[in-house]
Amino acid sequence: MLILASQSPRRRDLLLREGLNFCVISRFAKEQNDAALPAEQLCTQNASAKAEAVASDYPAHIVIGADTLVFLDGKPLGKPTDLADAHRMLSELQGRTHCVCTAVAIIFPDGKRSNFAVTSYVTFRPMSSADIDIYLAEVPVLDKAGAYAMQEKSELIVSDVQGDIDNVIGLPVTRLLQELTR
Protein backbone atom coordinates (compact mmCIF):
# COMPACT_ATOMS: atom_id res chain seq x y z
CA MET A 1 0.00 0.00 0.00
CA LEU A 2 1.06 3.55 -0.70
CA ILE A 3 0.94 6.02 2.21
CA LEU A 4 1.05 9.79 1.85
CA ALA A 5 2.59 11.15 5.04
CA SER A 6 0.94 14.54 4.66
CA GLN A 7 -2.34 16.20 5.58
CA SER A 8 -2.08 18.53 2.57
CA PRO A 9 -5.30 18.48 0.56
CA ARG A 10 -3.34 19.73 -2.44
CA ARG A 11 -0.97 16.75 -2.39
CA ARG A 12 -3.91 14.41 -1.92
CA ASP A 13 -5.68 15.97 -4.93
CA LEU A 14 -2.58 15.63 -7.11
CA LEU A 15 -2.25 11.92 -6.31
CA LEU A 16 -5.99 11.34 -6.85
CA ARG A 17 -5.72 13.06 -10.24
CA GLU A 18 -3.17 10.41 -11.22
CA GLY A 19 -5.48 7.60 -10.13
CA LEU A 20 -3.14 6.31 -7.44
CA ASN A 21 -4.50 4.12 -4.66
CA PHE A 22 -3.17 5.48 -1.35
CA CYS A 23 -4.11 6.41 2.16
CA VAL A 24 -3.16 9.44 4.20
CA ILE A 25 -1.38 8.93 7.51
CA SER A 26 0.66 11.66 9.10
CA ARG A 27 2.58 11.95 12.33
CA PHE A 28 4.17 14.92 14.01
CA ALA A 29 7.63 15.64 12.67
CA LYS A 30 9.54 18.71 13.78
CA GLU A 31 10.28 20.80 10.70
CA GLN A 32 13.57 22.62 10.34
CA ASN A 33 13.50 26.26 9.29
CA ASP A 34 17.23 26.99 9.19
CA ALA A 35 17.67 29.83 6.68
CA ALA A 36 21.39 29.01 6.50
CA LEU A 37 20.68 25.72 4.72
CA PRO A 38 20.31 25.58 0.93
CA ALA A 39 16.68 25.24 -0.21
CA GLU A 40 16.96 21.64 -1.41
CA GLN A 41 18.73 20.47 1.75
CA LEU A 42 16.22 22.13 4.08
CA CYS A 43 13.20 20.74 2.23
CA THR A 44 14.78 17.28 1.94
CA GLN A 45 15.44 17.12 5.69
CA ASN A 46 11.82 18.06 6.40
CA ALA A 47 10.41 15.60 3.85
CA SER A 48 12.57 12.81 5.26
CA ALA A 49 11.46 13.54 8.82
CA LYS A 50 7.79 13.35 7.77
CA ALA A 51 8.27 10.06 5.91
CA GLU A 52 10.32 8.50 8.73
CA ALA A 53 7.71 9.43 11.35
CA VAL A 54 5.15 7.30 9.48
CA ALA A 55 7.39 4.56 8.04
CA SER A 56 8.49 3.45 11.49
CA ASP A 57 4.88 2.36 12.18
CA TYR A 58 4.21 0.99 8.65
CA PRO A 59 7.41 -0.78 7.53
CA ALA A 60 5.59 -2.97 4.97
CA HIS A 61 4.33 0.01 2.97
CA ILE A 62 5.71 2.64 0.63
CA VAL A 63 5.67 5.97 2.49
CA ILE A 64 5.89 9.36 0.77
CA GLY A 65 6.84 12.49 2.70
CA ALA A 66 7.04 15.93 1.10
CA ASP A 67 7.92 19.47 2.05
CA THR A 68 7.39 22.64 0.03
CA LEU A 69 8.91 26.00 0.79
CA VAL A 70 8.99 29.33 -0.99
CA PHE A 71 12.38 31.01 -1.08
CA LEU A 72 12.95 34.69 -1.74
CA ASP A 73 16.53 35.91 -1.91
CA GLY A 74 17.61 32.56 -0.48
CA LYS A 75 15.43 32.89 2.64
CA PRO A 76 12.56 30.49 3.30
CA LEU A 77 9.04 31.84 3.57
CA GLY A 78 6.95 29.33 5.45
CA LYS A 79 3.26 29.49 6.23
CA PRO A 80 2.00 32.88 7.43
CA THR A 81 1.04 33.20 11.08
CA ASP A 82 -1.94 35.45 10.31
CA LEU A 83 -3.36 37.66 7.54
CA ALA A 84 -1.02 40.54 8.37
CA ASP A 85 1.93 38.17 7.94
CA ALA A 86 0.41 36.89 4.68
CA HIS A 87 0.06 40.48 3.44
CA ARG A 88 3.71 41.14 4.34
CA MET A 89 4.86 38.03 2.44
CA LEU A 90 2.86 38.88 -0.68
CA SER A 91 4.16 42.45 -0.52
CA GLU A 92 7.71 41.10 -0.55
CA LEU A 93 6.95 38.74 -3.44
CA GLN A 94 5.05 41.22 -5.63
CA GLY A 95 6.82 42.15 -8.84
CA ARG A 96 9.61 39.65 -8.18
CA THR A 97 10.70 36.12 -9.05
CA HIS A 98 11.13 33.56 -6.30
CA CYS A 99 11.78 29.84 -6.17
CA VAL A 100 9.54 27.10 -4.89
CA CYS A 101 11.30 23.96 -3.76
CA THR A 102 9.50 20.71 -3.03
CA ALA A 103 11.45 17.77 -1.69
CA VAL A 104 10.06 14.25 -1.64
CA ALA A 105 11.27 11.37 0.48
CA ILE A 106 10.11 7.85 -0.38
CA ILE A 107 10.76 4.96 1.97
CA PHE A 108 10.20 1.52 0.47
CA PRO A 109 9.32 -1.66 2.40
CA ASP A 110 12.81 -3.07 1.87
CA GLY A 111 14.29 0.01 3.55
CA LYS A 112 15.54 1.58 0.34
CA ARG A 113 15.02 5.30 0.05
CA SER A 114 14.63 7.80 -2.72
CA ASN A 115 15.03 11.48 -1.98
CA PHE A 116 14.79 14.25 -4.54
CA ALA A 117 13.98 17.92 -4.76
CA VAL A 118 12.45 19.93 -7.60
CA THR A 119 12.68 23.70 -7.96
CA SER A 120 10.37 25.94 -9.97
CA TYR A 121 10.51 29.71 -10.42
CA VAL A 122 7.44 31.89 -10.03
CA THR A 123 7.20 35.55 -11.00
CA PHE A 124 4.54 37.66 -9.34
CA ARG A 125 2.75 40.57 -10.93
CA PRO A 126 3.35 44.01 -9.47
CA MET A 127 0.56 44.46 -6.92
CA SER A 128 -0.71 47.28 -4.77
CA SER A 129 -1.71 46.79 -1.17
CA ALA A 130 -5.34 46.81 -2.33
CA ASP A 131 -4.59 44.08 -4.91
CA ILE A 132 -3.10 41.94 -2.16
CA ASP A 133 -6.15 42.54 0.05
CA ILE A 134 -8.43 41.37 -2.78
CA TYR A 135 -6.40 38.18 -3.21
CA LEU A 136 -6.37 37.50 0.54
CA ALA A 137 -10.14 37.99 0.70
CA GLU A 138 -10.66 35.38 -2.03
CA VAL A 139 -8.08 32.71 -1.17
CA PRO A 140 -7.44 31.05 2.21
CA VAL A 141 -3.65 31.20 2.54
CA LEU A 142 -2.77 30.58 6.17
CA ASP A 143 -1.85 26.93 5.49
CA LYS A 144 0.25 27.68 2.42
CA ALA A 145 3.97 28.38 2.14
CA GLY A 146 4.58 31.89 0.85
CA ALA A 147 0.93 32.83 1.56
CA TYR A 148 -0.42 31.87 -1.86
CA ALA A 149 -1.98 29.01 -3.75
CA MET A 150 -0.97 28.35 -7.34
CA GLN A 151 -4.21 26.45 -7.92
CA GLU A 152 -6.51 29.20 -6.60
CA LYS A 153 -6.87 32.57 -8.35
CA SER A 154 -3.21 32.61 -9.35
CA GLU A 155 -4.08 34.81 -12.32
CA LEU A 156 -4.48 37.64 -9.80
CA ILE A 157 -0.90 37.42 -8.60
CA VAL A 158 1.28 35.29 -10.92
CA SER A 159 2.65 36.44 -14.27
CA ASP A 160 4.97 33.52 -15.09
CA VAL A 161 6.01 30.05 -13.94
CA GLN A 162 9.20 28.35 -15.07
CA GLY A 163 9.20 24.69 -14.17
CA ASP A 164 6.72 22.17 -12.87
CA ILE A 165 3.43 23.76 -11.79
CA ASP A 166 2.54 20.66 -9.74
CA ASN A 167 5.74 21.30 -7.83
CA VAL A 168 4.51 24.80 -6.96
CA ILE A 169 1.19 23.32 -5.82
CA GLY A 170 3.08 20.96 -3.53
CA LEU A 171 4.12 17.70 -5.21
CA PRO A 172 6.19 17.15 -8.38
CA VAL A 173 4.00 14.29 -9.58
CA THR A 174 5.89 13.47 -12.79
CA ARG A 175 9.15 12.93 -10.93
CA LEU A 176 7.37 11.06 -8.12
CA LEU A 177 5.84 8.61 -10.58
CA GLN A 178 9.24 8.05 -12.18
CA GLU A 179 10.76 7.22 -8.79
CA LEU A 180 7.89 4.89 -7.83
CA THR A 181 8.17 2.89 -11.07
CA ARG A 182 11.92 2.30 -10.82
Average pLDDT taken over every residue of the chain: 93
- Model pLDDT for residues 69-128, shown as the tens digit of each residue: 999 998 888 889 999 999 999 999 999 999 999 999 999 998 899 999 999 999 999 999
Give the closest residue to 145 by CA, choosing from 170, 120, 166.
170
Give residue limits of the domains in the chain. Answer: 2-181
Judged against a pLDDT cut of 90, whether residue 45 lies above it is answered with yes
The pLDDT of residue 111 is: 85
Give yes or no for residue 29 having a pLDDT over 90: no
Contact 151, 10 (CB under 8 A): yes
pLDDT given for residue 30 in this prediction: 76
Residue 131 has pLDDT above 90, yes or no: yes
Which pLDDT tens digit goes with each residue over 141-177?
998 989 999 999 999 999 999 999 999 999 999 999 9
pLDDT at 182: 79
Query: What dihedral do alpha carbons 126, 128, 134, 139 form, nearest 10°?
Result: 50
pLDDT of residue 83: 97
**Which CATH entry fits the domain spanning 2-181: 3.40.50.800, 3.90.950.10, 3.40.50.2300, 3.90.1150.180?**
3.90.950.10
Q: What is the pLDDT of residues 53-69, one digit of tens each?
A: 999 999 999 999 999 99
pLDDT at 138: 95
Confidence of residue 39 (pLDDT cuts 50, 70, 90): confident
Helix locations, the chain, DSSP H:
9-17, 39-55, 83-93, 129-138, 165-169, 173-181
pLDDT given at position 67 = 93
What DSSP state is assigned to residue 147?
A: G
- Which residues are catalytic, by number? 67
- Check if the beta carbon of residue 159 is closer than 8 Å to that of residue 121: no
Given a contact cutoff of 8 angstroms between Cβ atoms, the answer to whether 5 and 28 are in contact is no
Pair 41, 112: CB distance under 8 Å: no
- Taking residues 29-37, report their average pLDDT: 75
pLDDT band at residue 1 using 50, 70 and 90 as cut-offs: confident
- The whole-number average pLDDT for the span 13-18 is 95
